[in-house]
Amino acid sequence: MSTPTPGAPLLSVRDLTVVVRGAQGQRALLSRVSLDLGKGEILGLVGESGSGKSLFCRSLVQLLPSRALAVTGGTAVMAGRDLLSLSEADMGALRGAKIGMIFQNPSSHLDPVMRVGDQIAEGLMFHRKLGRKAAKAEAIAIMTQVGFTDPARQFASYPHEFSGGMRQRAMIAVALACDPDILIADEPTTALDVTIQAQILKLLMDLRDQRGLSIILITHDLGVVAQTCDRIAVMRQGELVEQGPKRDLLARPQHPYTQALIASHPSMDEAAPTEPPAPPAPPRRPLMEIDDLHVRYPVSGGLFGRRRSFSAVAGVSLRIMPGETVGIVGESGSGKSTLARAMLGLAPISDGHVSFDGDSLRLKRDATLAKMRRQAAMVFQDPFNSLNARLTIGETLAEVLRVQGKVARAAIPARVEELLRLVELDPGLAGRRPRQLSGGQCQRAGIARALAVEPRLIVADECVAALDVTIQAQIVDLFRRLVATMDLTLVFIAHDLAIVRHLCERVVVMHHGRIVEEGACAEVFEHPREAYTAALIAAIPDIDPDRPLHAPPAGALTA
């Protein structure tokens, strides 16, 4: 990794203050934030959701998300000009040309009805005044640089024709088209699989080396900044609480908040706590038994109108014993979520069998589904959209209790309060709707809803993927306590292998709809048998800044 060029900073921000104005007056969202960005430097801006990371960067290019927000103080000097005092016309000329931005969700920022190549060429024609033919040639060259495998053909493709990783490459190509001096990357890998994340991070590092690009990388993952950034700046509640070279800050954090962030980071060297070996128990029947399961979906486009199908799950067999914690890992499209939904009768079974506590879902579907509804529950990835936005949290829990009929109507309010305390939520939040809660609070409410059925089995599908690292740690600890105290069986689906190792006893690795490896977490993570499993483990960004980032080539794991 090259070191930043010494000398005057490319960007110098001093005392940046942003307020929100409302009926009760104004409140500071950013309070006197000061930091520098050097030429060719990658600066990691870290902190929880709501800490002000994205707002800080949007303020630099005058793209505040609401008219109620305003910059009330400070300067941001680049090439002798204060960005905060530029007119809209001057800032419009600077955006893209001098400062480019890429975002967490490329699908929301790429035009769905415009060819990807044309979106890249558009910036070249506007800012660099290239003709259409020259702009296309330059766009193809940039697509090559960011890792498109066949840019001449892919120039004419639309965003929906690409995977998430390739859409993110397209977003980076759009930002690079104007040859900016600074690239702001706002959570560019949060929604990506670990192997694709490693590829995108390696790409950003290569672009810095090739172009002398300065990058502000916004993230809540300390593993990402440890392996990609030169310096780290830590934000909390609109204030910059600590900054410094990454090795110094990670080894000797001064602020209690930074120390808490580092302590919350899941480590691949940290296995789930082990209990002393218990005496052999008599053989038990599996709670969930899956035999040669196939889930196929019809797809169009067969030759001469023949029906074709896509196998989302292809011949999976799995036994889950009562009280087990089983992690299911793999990249997007590996079949994890489809398997989970098929287990609970939420996806059609094409072939094979799923049995819950001895009852077959195919042979006795209605009776088995009724049993599952009483004894199994699911926790979903998006804590906001998985709850009814029109009901308060208390009403949601009460509705489940009424449907289940296990609690007398007069006792429902007390049971709602008990459920909220069980997931460590203040019972006073029962009167709030989902959008009035934080992401972590909302996910706890989702877990409370699952517990309301008094389940024997909980299936958690990527339920911490969208949460900050400190909230992730709290939810993982909550699951561990619930499993220990309530005799729960937990199936935990994730693409974060460090969290799975921290929580689960056993891990199942899926690839292209099949199980390619399974076993005790300690054994699989320390001695993976399959190259695919080893590549997943190697691609995880580690909080050790001296451990190299391993990024498999694009498409290397899809064959």
Sequence-separated contacts (24+) of 461-464 with Cβ below 8 Å: 461/336, 461/337, 461/340, 461/378, 461/379, 461/380, 461/381, 461/493, 462/337, 462/380, 462/381, 462/493, 462/494, 462/495, 463/379, 463/380, 463/381, 463/383, 463/492, 464/494, 464/496, 464/499
Q: How far apart are CA 435 and CA 391, in angstroms?
A: 11
> Distance between CA 147 and CA 145 in Å, rounded?
6
Say how many domains are in the chain. 2
Q: Are residues 259 and 344 in the same domain?
A: no
SS3 readout for 334-356: CCHHHHHHHHCCCCCCCEEEEEE
- CA distances to 292, 378, 429, 431 from 444, in Å: 34, 13, 11, 15
Contacts (Cβ under 8 Å, ≥6 apart) of 131: 125
Please, which contacts does 254-263 make with residues 24 or more away whose CB atoms are closer than 8 Å?
258/234, 260/470, 261/46, 261/47, 261/222, 261/234, 261/469, 261/470, 262/222, 262/543
Does residue 323 share a domain with residue 229?
no
What pLDDT was estimated at residue 453? 87
* 384 in a structural domain: yes
Residue 128 has a pLDDT of 81
User: Are 99 and 234 found together in one domain?
Assistant: yes
d(CA 363, CA 353): 9
Place of tokens 């079949």: 335
Indicate whether 384 and 471 sit together in one domain.
yes
Q: Is the residue at 544 inside a domain?
A: no
With respect to residue 19, please indicate whether it lies within any of the assigned structural domains.
Answer: no
DSSP state of 146: T
Query: 487 and 452 share a domain?
Result: yes
The answer as to whether 21 is a domain residue is no
In a domain, 187, yes or no: yes
The pLDDT of residue 25:
82
Structure tokens at 40: 């060719």
pLDDT average per 10 residues of sequence, the chain (559 residues): 60 94 85 94 88 90 87 93 91 86 77 91 86 92 85 88 79 85 86 76 86 89 86 93 93 91 70 49 79 84 64 91 92 85 89 92 90 89 81 92 88 92 88 82 88 90 78 85 88 86 92 92 92 86 75 51
pLDDT at 127: 79
Which pairs with CB-CB distance under 8 Å and at least 24 residues apart come from 249-253?
Answer: 250/222, 250/226, 250/543, 250/545
Q: Do the domain assignments include residue 75?
A: no
- For residue 205, the enclosing domain spans 37-63+86-264
Domain-embedded: residue 508? yes
Query: Any idea what the CATH number is for the domain that residue 382 is in?
Result: 3.40.50.300
Verify that 345 and 210 share a domain, yes or no.
no
pLDDT value of position 3: 46
Q: How far apart, in Å, are the Cα atoms of 348 and each of 295, 365, 557?
A: 7, 11, 28
Q: Is the dihedral of CA 314, 318, 320, 324 positive or negative?
A: negative
Query: Do residues 150 and 230 both lie within one domain?
Result: yes
> Same structural domain for residues 316 and 254?
no
Are 326 and 521 a contacting pair, CB within 8 Å? Answer: no
Are 250 and 333 members of one domain? no
Q: How far apart are CA 7 and CA 9, in angstroms?
A: 6
295 and 182 co-located in one domain: no
Residue 26, domain member (yes or no): no
| Residue 489 pLDDT | 94
Q: Specify the DSSP element, H or E, that contains 469.
A: helix 469-486
pTM of the full structure? 0.72
Query: What pLDDT score was predicted for residue 2?
Result: 45
Give me the pLDDT at residue 5, please. Answer: 45
Tell me, yes or no, whether 191 and 323 share the same domain.
no
CA distance 142 to 177: 7
Grouping H, G, I as helix, E, B as strand and the rest as coil, residue 372 is: helix
- Based on the fold, state whether residues 451 and 374 are members of the same structural domain: yes
